[in-house]
Amino acid sequence: MLALAASPAFARDGLCFAARQSGLYRSEDGGRTWRFALDALGLDAPLMTTAVALSPAFAGDGRVFAGAHGGVLRSSDRGATWRVALFPEPPPLVSALALSPRSPTTA
C-alpha cells in the first residue's frame, strides 16, 4: 500500500481508501473487505495510484482526491464516481496530496 485515507467518521461509517500500485481501493467496513474504486472510469488496465486525500470538509462535501502518474482523480460523491485531471507532458508522478483547510467546497 502506498497511501491510506479514512473518513473523519471512520468509527461510524468504516469508509477508507487505499492507494496501491494496482489502483485505488475503497472499503466501507473498516478495511475488512475492499473493492476497486475506479470501476466507473472503465479503464483497460490498472492505474497505479500513489496518493489519496479527503477534503477537510469531507463529512459535508464527500470529496476524495487520488494522485496517479500524470494526473489527479477527483470524486465529489465519497468515491462513487471520478473525474480525471491530466497534467501536461512530461507527466509527473503525484506522490503526495495536501488540501488546504480553506479549500472550496465545490468539486
pLDDT digits (tens, 9 = 90+) for 36-93: 999 888 888 888 999 999 999 999 999 999 999 889 999 999 999 999 998 889 988 8
Assess if residue 102 is contained within a domain.
no
97 is a domain residue: no
pLDDT at 107: 46
* 69, β-bridge pairs: 93
pLDDT tens for each residue of 11-45: 999 999 999 999 999 999 999 999 999 988 888 88
Range of the domain at 45: 3-86
pTM comes to 0.89
Structural domain contains residue 57: yes
Number of domains the chain contains? 1
